[in-house]
Chains A and B, each alone.
Chain A
Amino acid sequence: MSHRSSSSIKALASANLHESGVVSSKPVLIGRSQLIERMRAVIERIAHTNSSVLITGATGTGKEIVARLIHAQSNRAQEPFVDVNCSAIPEALFETEFFGHERGTFTGAHEMRRGLFEQCAGGTLFLDEVDALPLTAQAKLLRVLQERTLRRVGGRENIRTDVRIISSTNRNLQAAIAAGAFRPDLFFRLRVVPIYVPPLAERREDVPLLITHFLGRHAKRTGEKLRSFTPKAVRVMQDHDWAGNVRELENAIEFAVALGMGEQLDVNDLPPNLLPGFEFETAPLIAGSDPSNILRSSLAKRLPLAEVERCYIVAMYELHDKHSINTAAALGIDRRTLYRKLKEYGVG
């Protein structure tokens, strides 16, 4: 299953630290930048309404935290918050997952089952990656949102729904509409309140606060002593582009606290891709030659296909003790092709 109930949310929320260091029972947005302050004000203004919210922003920016925060500040805070990743629900299961089914509807349906809408009655349903819903599912969802009633699969009774919908996407839904992949009527129904979560690179001034937050949370979770970063390491993190946003920063800090052994963590403790002038190494791919690692390293290094092919062929050649017939057979290519390629690579 791809949705999480409010019990896990409570555990997560209680693990969060407020900026001031005081343990808070609510999810928190970390940051004092103008962009975050503005977003915080919007959340405060709309939390108490029942309006649907569409949260957009790149991956790792914290869209889910925004959703939880809206729920926590709403009149529904004591009711369930159910979070569902739309990309993880197969099209055939959409209806039973969302609307439930009656007993005996299909083989294996020994009992009546309530769907997500009924499970979070009175609460908030968070549709993560809403763009992943297939068009048929979009139509069914739209109908329930318009009519505010649903029917379980195999049921005859119309059941009233009272659910606030918050959805999120990291894609441009307008482009998806233009491409015919997303229904415009559903889009407008979901996006009564649009909230854009900015990438971390647009709010670099929040990086030190986030670092303090994640270090504090790590210390609390592990019981280890609270550590800090040197000013130089903080500067490196502030200057980094953070394509993976807050999640990447969080991972970088996990990396540093796991590998660094000093009380103060320094630049050398950070993941290598954060360091200025960092370039992915390529030579050991050829010299090091473990075919099973080549795909992984190549992806990490964003290598061009020709380079991946070269590394893989050379590695397989080495693995087969430079036996060309065996290598060609393992690669599924003609021996002459192998010769030609090895000659191109200067390998004999």
Chain B
Amino acid sequence: MHEERNRQTILIVDDSDDIRSILAQMLEIDGYHVEQASDGTEALSTAERIRPNLILMDLRMPMMNGIAATRQLHEHAETREIPVVIVSGLDSEMFRDAAFSVGCAAFLTKPFSTHELQDILKRLLPQHESAPAK
């Protein structure tokens, strides 16, 4: 069993309820605490409020796309250290370059396996704090 205070929080940002729900289930099984936002603008306010350990950010969303939101997160001292993983159905050099240029930590293309996501989380989150569920 893991202690609630040790759980790492991941903010899932996606305009699709289904994708958010699937990702949330995957992450909760692995012992993470999950928060959700449905567009880039909501992501900014939620990130500032809850200061997640990591953000999984969709690329194409209403109000504000994932790259613009990542750029704004990195412009604010309070949120600039939070690693952002862009999760995208659109895969091209153009989007990858733009994502890395605004400071995203990794670019994950849909569809992806649980294993790929776990690898990225392992790499980006300090392991001594993680407490996977049994």
Q: Closest CB-CB distance, B83 to chain A, in whole Å?
A: 6
Question: Is chain B's binding surface mostly helix, strand, loop or mixed?
Answer: mixed
Is B117 engaged at the interface, CB distance under 8 Å to the other chain? no
Is B131 engaged at the interface, CB distance under 8 Å to the other chain? no
Known contacts A258-B60, A258-B90, A261-B62; A284 and B104 CB within 8 A of each other? yes
Across-interface contacts of A289 in B (CB, < 8 A): 105, 123-124
B96 touches A296 (CB 8 A): yes
Partner of B80, one of A255, A268, A283: A283
Partner of B105, one of A268, A273, A284: A284
Is A288 engaged at the interface, CB distance under 8 Å to the other chain? yes
Known contacts A261-B61, A281-B102; A300 and B74 CB within 8 A of each other? no
B106-127: which residues lie under 8 A (CB-CB) from chain A? 106-107, 123-124
Is B1 engaged at the interface, CB distance under 8 Å to the other chain? no
In the complex, what residue of chain A is closest to B41 when comparing beta carbons?
A: A268
Across-interface contacts of A258 in B (CB, < 8 A): 60, 90, 95
Q: Closest CB-CB distance, A187 to chain B, in whole Å?
A: 35
Is A331 engaged at the interface, CB distance under 8 Å to the other chain? no
- Tell me how many residues of A have a C-beta within 8 Å of chain B: 29
Interface centre among B61, B62, B83, B100 (most CB of A within 10 A): B100
Is B67 engaged at the interface, CB distance under 8 Å to the other chain? yes
Is A19 engaged at the interface, CB distance under 8 Å to the other chain? no
Across-interface contacts of B102 in A (CB, < 8 A): 272, 281
A272 touches B106 (CB 8 A): no
Known contacts A254-B94, A288-B124; A261 and B60 CB within 8 A of each other? yes
A293 touches B101 (CB 8 A): no
Is A259 engaged at the interface, CB distance under 8 Å to the other chain? yes
In the complex, what residue of chain B is closest to A251 when comparing beta carbons?
A: B94
Please encode chain B, from 78 to 91, with 1 for each CB lying within 8 Å of some chain A CB and 0 for all others.
00110110000010
Partner of B65, one of A260, A301, A318: A260
Q: List 22 A-B contacts (CB under 8 A).
A: A251-B94, A258-B90, A259-B59, A259-B60, A268-B68, A271-B67, A271-B98, A273-B101, A280-B101, A281-B101, A281-B103, A283-B80, A284-B74, A287-B81, A288-B83, A288-B106, A293-B107, A296-B97, A296-B100, A300-B100, A300-B101, A301-B100
